[in-house]
Structure 1
Amino acid sequence: LGGAMGSSFTLTLANIFMWKWQKEFVRRQDMTGEFYGRYIDDIFMTWNKSEKALQDILDEANTWHPNIKLEYKISRSLPFLDVFLTNNHGILSTSVYHKPSAEPSVVPFISDHPSHTFANIIKTGLTRAVRYSSTFEIFNNERLYVKLTLLYNGYPSSLIETQFRRFFSEYISSSSFLPYMDDEKQFLILRNTLLKQPTHRQSQVSMSATKADIHNDQADGVHTVFEKTADEKGKQKHDFPD
């Protein structure tokens, strides 16, 4: 048996299967106050006991089902999806993860796209930098990476500075010479604001759920009207028997 790749139904079945498979993992992590998170087939978890004990648990997990084999990496610093996490003596810091083999490429400025596409690319890069950077220093490094990537792909400096200033407009002085923040408190305020906002993907999921609820409500409404009509017909037959 199998399912079509990319199908919502197949993904749902896979998540149900993984939910059952990971129950023992979650139970053990809860008992020790550790963190466990999974996105599709990527898992991230914390551990404060010996590395050997963790390896034993992961090796045991590979025996739970013949079709599930974990490939794991244990380290104080490692990537999870597009976030790079580092354990600094018990304090987790985060930054944007860039694969070493990945080219610093975005949609080239010479491509035939509407102008708002380039503005959105700049905004997306800055938004990711703010959300993923746990400190002001990490953010500044990522901001520089974003700017260099844009220049590498042919974006004019004037456009970059204009979009940077527009992005930070609420957090820097209008008379500031540099189009970015230079104060850690301003950065933390901006980061907390963005972290409270849903991502584009979260907004899509919420919209889909809302549409599904509306559809179900409409279906329930039709069903209710039908039942009411049937009741009224029954009353009519009762009041006026043949």
Structure 2
Amino acid sequence: KGIPSETIRLLASIVLKENVFVYGKKIYQQVLGGAMGSLFTLTLANIFMWKWHKELVRRQDMTENANTWHPNIKLEYKIGKSLLFLDVLLTNINGALSTSAYHKPAAEPYVVPFISDHPRHVFENIVQTSLRRAIKYSLTFQSFNDERRYIKSTFLYNGSVYC
């Protein structure tokens, strides 16, 4: 029949919470985790990793399943310090959230050519919208200046007279 689950949980708690060791003729209590080399601690680590891996696989399967719903909508599962969301790049810099404008490589650095026959207000709106986006998405003055320089070079590349 085996040992009841509750007994195993209680024993695991004792092993993890009451772990002491001697170093330099002093007694220390380990307050987090278990003793390295202990067979029981190794078993607990394997159980933890198995459970964590099982959840990771479940999330990846969910993403793959969602990608079958529509041919034009694809989701990506990513782990890292930055995340793309629409046209914003969110970045974790030492625990602080930073945002900046993101430019899709396939679409940039092109805008409506300034030599085209579009009405003048179209070009003015492109400039205003680009600057608004830079202000809105740039969390720091440095990222705003980087984006402003990017906008200027993009407009010059496309023949702008507004720079």
TM-score (norm 1): 0.40
Q: Which residue of 2 aligns with 1:200?
A: none
Query: 1-side partners of 2:134 and 2:96: how far apart?
Result: 19
| One of 126, 143, 154 as aligned partner of 1:138 | 143
- Structure 2 letter corresponding to 1:149: T
d(CA) in 2 for partners of 1:65 and 1:95?
Answer: 26
1:31-70 superposed Cα distances (whole Å, 9 cap, x missing partner): xxxxxxxxxxxxxxxxxxx9x94x6434213556984256
Q: Structure 1 residues 123, 76: CA separation in 2 closer, same or farther (over 3 Å shift)?
A: same
Report the equivalent of 1:94. 99
2:91·2:97 contact (CA, 8 Å) conserved in 1? yes
Question: What's the offset of the Cα at 1:135?
Answer: 0.4
Q: Give matches, 1:218-233, under 5 Å.
A: none
Identity of aligned residues (%): 57
RMSD (Å) for aligned C-alpha atoms = 2.6
Cα gap change, 1:96 to 1:66, in 2 (>3 Å): closer
Shift in alpha-carbon separation, 1:83–1:65, aligned structure 2, 3 A: closer
1:60 aligns with 2:65: no
Higher-Rg structure is 2
CA distance in 2, matches of 1:77, 1:65: 19
Q: Distance in 1 between matches of 2:97 and 2:85?
A: 13
Aligned residues: 107
Amino acid corresponding to residue 125 of structure 1 in structure 2 = S
SS of equivalent to 1:93: strand
Corresponding residue of 2:90: 85
1:122 aligned to 2:127?
Answer: yes
Q: In structure 2, what is the Cα distance between the partners aligned to 1:88 and 1:65?
A: 27
Structure with the largest fraction of helix: 1
* SS of corresponding position for 2:66: coil
2:81 alignment partner in structure 1: 76
Residues 1:62 and 1:86: Cα distance change in structure 2 (over 3 Å): closer
Select which of 136, 139, 158 maps to 1:153. Answer: 158
CA 1:144–1:56 in structure 2 vs 1: closer, same or farther (change >3 Å)? farther
Q: Which has the higher contact order (CA 8 A, sep 6+)?
A: 2
* Alignment pair present for 1:103 and 2:103: no
d(CA) in 2 for partners of 1:64, 1:104? 35
Question: Structure 1 pair 108/56, CA: closer, same or farther in 2 (3 Å)?
Answer: farther
Alpha-carbon distance in structure 1 between the residues aligned to 2:60 and 2:146: 39
